[in-house]
Structure 1
Amino acid sequence: MATDPPLVLDIDGTLTRPAGWGIDPRIFDPLHEWDAPVVIATGKAFPYPIALCHFLALPELVVAENGGIVYTGDAVSVTADRERAESVVESYRDAGYDLGWGPDDTVNRWRETELAISREQPLEPLREAATAHGLEVIDTGYAYHLKDPTVSKGEGVKTVAETVGIDLSTAVAVGDSINDVSTFEVVGRSFAVANADAAASEAADEVLEAAHADGTLAALERVRGGV
């Protein structure tokens, strides 16, 4: 019987090094040894959290693309359509703007339900084009995500929980951005790391003193210790 609570974890800004780049290797052992389901809920494209679960040797319970793709270990659910996002990007490019990732654009190459735009690109023209096509733009601090407003990480987490039998009232979530707010709303306890944006900090039950993976590791120690 599991003694640890289920976890729902973001990646960027939450499992990354204190400087904000790359996965912090210190998270590998604690997550591999965690005695309860671990759900990875991220804005990244689907292959990234799957690869992370693979290298952590964790069951592949994944919410990707801000809820656009949900994987419960035996079935993939695609809850949004990239076609509308492509239409927005076409309008954005026609206005003279670019996604900002260069010709190969590995950021979006494997995305199926949304598109990400560099934060160095103009935001307001992107928002105007998104609104015209019934989409929204969220700023996660790492990119502008052009997405369907009807999907979210929180809804994806609920789908995973219902499918594999996780009691979300006992679950703990850690995140850093506005796209984690919907996750915080469906779990029993939530932490925002110290580098979190205002939306995540306000929505979390507690804001941690430490940033990035330092904060996440501190949260895991506390909940494992019953604090």
Structure 2
Amino acid sequence: MTADAPPLALDIDGTLTDGTGRLDPRTFNYLPAWDAPVVLATGKAFPYPVSLSHYLGLEQTVIAENGGVVLADGAVSYQGDRERARAAADAFVERGGDLGWGGFDAINEWRRTEVAVNLDADEELLRSVAAEFDLDVFDTGYAYHVKTPGVEKGTGLKAVAEALGYDPSDFVAVGDSENDVSTFGVAGRSFAVANADAAAREAADIVLEESYFDGTISALESIAEA
């Protein structure tokens, strides 16, 4: 890649994966070769992007839990209220709701600032309970996230940029979901892969013709050639 490559903010699911949800093995070729910071920005719990960064050989710079947790320049910051989200989840279950993840809840076991609920859950009940706790319910297309209002990937990207000495507009963002809209609004350039939902497609500067990591590759190659 060129020495003047811009820093990247990349979603994981639907963006670095294939159509089955598996990490595309080509990420091990493309991302470590990028000559600028690569930020993994995801709705997943904090350990997931940290681990992925490690195995990709990247500096561990991540935005997790839809902006609730940020790791940059060796420092971790938390933006969401985990205790309030957990209390809302408990109330949801007490009223007959089901988080929907089975006996061992790997989705929430290591989550620090929010609670994720299966999309098969009773959405009306979930939103009603969350409102009582002054929390938002955010549908990423993969789960409902019960989270602190105002906490988004975009605010996380601002924090990362400040920590690394960049302006947020220096970043190029690639994503596929409504939770990437705030990142697109902060980054200087944004790409939605072809499998992106309507909100991401509308917010992106460019909607790619290719899906999943094929789309991300096309974005990276177009940037490198510019």
The runs of 5 or more residues in structure 2 that have no matched partner are: none
Counterpart in the other structure of 1:139 = 139
What amino acid maps onto 2:184 in structure 1? F
Shift of 1:210: 1.0
Name the counterpart of 1:28. 28
- What code does the residue aligned with 1:21 have? G
Shift of 1:198: 1.1
**Secondary structure of the corresponding residue to residue 185 of structure 1:** helix
Q: What residue identity is the alignment partner of 1:116? A: A
Provide the C-alpha distance between the structure 1 equivalents of 2:20 and 2:131, rounded to a whole number of angstroms.
31
Aligned-residue Cα RMSD (Å) equals 1.1
Q: How does 1:38-187 map to 2 (within 5 A)?
A: 38-187=38-187
Matched letter for residue 2 of structure 1: A
Q: TM-score, normalised by structure 1?
A: 0.96
Distance in 2 (CA, whole Å) between partners of 1:200 and 1:127 is 22
Distance 1:73 1:99 in 2: 34
Contact 1:13–1:20 (CA under 8 A) maintained in structure 2: no
Give, in angstroms, the shift of residue 167 of structure 1.
3.0
Is the contact made by 1:8 and 1:173 (CA closer than 8 Å) also made in structure 2?
yes
Partner of 2:203: 203
TM-superposed CA distance for 1:2, in Å, is 3.2
The residue type paired with residue 6 of structure 2 is: P
Q: What is residue 8 of structure 2 aligned with on the other side?
A: 7
Question: Take 1:97 and 1:166, find their aligned partners in 2: how far apart are those partners?
Answer: 43
Deviation of 1:82 (Å): 0.9
8 Å Cα contact 1:115/1:146 also seen in 2: yes
Q: Distance in 2 between matches of 1:72 and 1:109?
A: 23
**Partners of 1:20 and 1:212 within 8 A in 2:** no
Task: Tell me, in whole angstroms, the C-alpha distance in 2 between the residues paired with 1:4 and 1:168.
Answer: 15
Does residue 190 in structure 1 map to residue 182 in structure 2?
A: no
1:53 and 1:93 map into 2 onto residues whose CA distance is: 34
Q: Percent identity?
A: 57
The residue type equivalent to 1:172 in the other structure is: V
* Per-residue deviation, residues 140-170 of structure 1 (Å, max 9, x unmatched): 1111111111211111111111111123323
User: What are structure 1's unaligned runs of at least 5 residues?
Assistant: none
User: Contact between 1:176 and 1:195, CA under 8 Å: does it hold in 2?
Assistant: yes
Output the CA distance in 2 between the equivalents of 1:181 and 1:209.
19
Alpha-carbon separation, structure 2, partners of 1:87 and 1:3: 47
Q: Secondary structure at the match of 1:128?
A: helix
Tell me the CA shift for residue 53 of structure 1: 0.5
Aligned length: 225
Q: Is 2:73–2:163's contact at 8 Å kept on the other side of the alignment?
A: no
Shift of 1:21: 1.3
